[in-house]
Chains A and B, each alone.
Chain A
């Protein structure tokens, strides 16, 4: 369906409980990729005071999914298109000074959800088809979904590996980065598009309503532990991946909603970090 030539496990691997079944292995692969990539983007968004950008774009992705259902196109493509377009509009509004960061987000937030509701009502699809995108349904992902997630993950990791230093320079001191001739606007736009891409990748894992959590919560934890930007990134990625694994195990063990379980695991990680720091038992890395 997707036409992407990426190999994902089609046979059941010999993994221990709770990942012994194929659907859990697909969920694990998709979840780990998203759990690693979302904080990679989030670390820059948080520093830009744009932590809620993922939320705003999630609402746009919802409108994109609704458009896909209306047009009978695979909703992932329409979500990607609408989310990336909206992300660029937010950047444009901020750059022009037409709207401050939070106002630009609010415009997208409410515009996106309203558009989604209108399109859903027009499609007459009812609420059943949209629910997996709103709240995630990682346990029902198919190999085609996982292929898309893996490709998106490769794009995100490669982009950050190439542009991470410029992004760091830009979010630390935009004016100095401009004076140095760094492509501040271009990488800002790219970060917005990568955010949109990450949201779409995470859509089936935790749902558009919780997607920003995986971008922000692991970063919030890592900033309490880390002593360098490098370790901030690595710890955030580790927390994201562990949250996904713990969330999936909990969901399987107690028949919980996996999207919510993953985000609660990330929230718990933050709570543990804060508590350990308060007791002075934190080893900074």
Chain B
């Protein structure tokens, strides 16, 4: 598929697929089209050419939206509103339970489980305003997990978060893949925390420049840590 903002083509002839249970990272320098690609996948944008299939159908026609979990690129959630961790995570359950229905015992259990899986059980009743940036990011991950998704899409979820949060983040993703057979698509500049768990890395700069196992990428001189320099240099070299 391809997509342009006006005359500026930001996604050019990109094609890839994800299988159930696959853990895939999408990497690329700033402005490489990663976030636009995610928005196309999620159905927030429509491609100019080509098609997107999410669970076999157009994202706009996907009726079972609870199969999809999304963690947007964001640090501060509800900067002024007193809202607890549990209240935010519970909004992630609405798609699965039906927004018009009252929460049942299994819904409450799923919300509790999602909060536990990101290590925030003791802070469930705490206002998110009182949490650190890393903890707030874990709240967003728990919100996505609450719908028990088959595909979890995360946009820069660990940018600037503390080491403890990164470890818990990694554990929750590995748990999701291993126990629930979910696929994970992770967009990040920082893949060090999950380097050993990834099945594939896709490197993108408008089009796909690399799609393969992480070992193959590191062998060509690109680190999976914070790739501020080596990835752009590597892309320059191959271009």
**Residues of A that sit less than 8 Å from B by CB:** 47, 162-163, 165-166, 168-169, 172-173, 175-183, 223, 226-232
Contacts and interface: CB of A to CB of B under 8 A. Distances in A.
A215 B88 CA distance: 23
A223 B127 CA distance: 11
Given A175-B72, A182-B94, A230-B87, A162 B77 contact: no
Contacts of B143: 176
B84 A180 contact: no
Interface string B152-184: 000000000000000000000000000000000
A274 to B, nearest CB: 14
Q: Which among B43, B80, B88, B91 has the greatest number of chain A C-beta atoms within 10 A?
A: B91
Contacts, number: 82
Contacts of B84: 227-229
B65 A172 contact: no
B70 interface: yes
Given A180-B147, A229-B87, A223 B80 contact: yes
Contacts of B72: 173, 175-176
B125 interface: yes
A182 B44 CA distance: 13
A233 to B, nearest CB: 10
Nearest to B86: A228
B105 interface: no
A47 B94 contact: no
B44 A179 contact: yes
B195 interface: no
A172 B89 CA distance: 11
Contacts of B95: 180-182
Given A179-B44, A180-B147, A181-B65, A232 B81 contact: yes
B150 to A, nearest CB: 14
A162 B100 CA distance: 7
Contact of B92 (A47, A180, A223, A229): A180
Interface SS of A by simple majority? helix
A178 B59 CA distance: 11
Contacts of B208: none
Given A172-B88, A179-B70, A231 B82 contact: yes
Interface in B94-128: 94-95, 99-100, 125-127
A181 B68 CA distance: 10
B222 interface: no
15 contacts: A47-B78, A163-B99, A165-B91, A165-B99, A166-B99, A169-B94, A179-B43, A180-B65, A226-B82, A227-B82, A227-B125, A228-B83, A228-B125, A229-B84, A232-B81
Contacts of B194: none
Contacts of B87: 168, 228-230
A247 B90 CA distance: 38
A181 B97 CA distance: 12
B91 to A, nearest CB: 4
Contacts of B65: 179-181
Interface string B65-79: 110101010100110
Given A223-B81, A231-B82, A180 B70 contact: yes
A161 to B, nearest CB: 10
A183 B72 CA distance: 19
A229 B43 contact: no
A173 B77 contact: yes
Given A169-B91, A172-B77, A229 B82 contact: yes
A260 B100 CA distance: 39
Contacts of A163: 99
A28 B70 CA distance: 47
Nearest to A225: B82
Nearest to A220: B80
Contacts of B43: 179
Contacts of B94: 165-166, 169, 180, 182
Contacts of A166: 94, 99
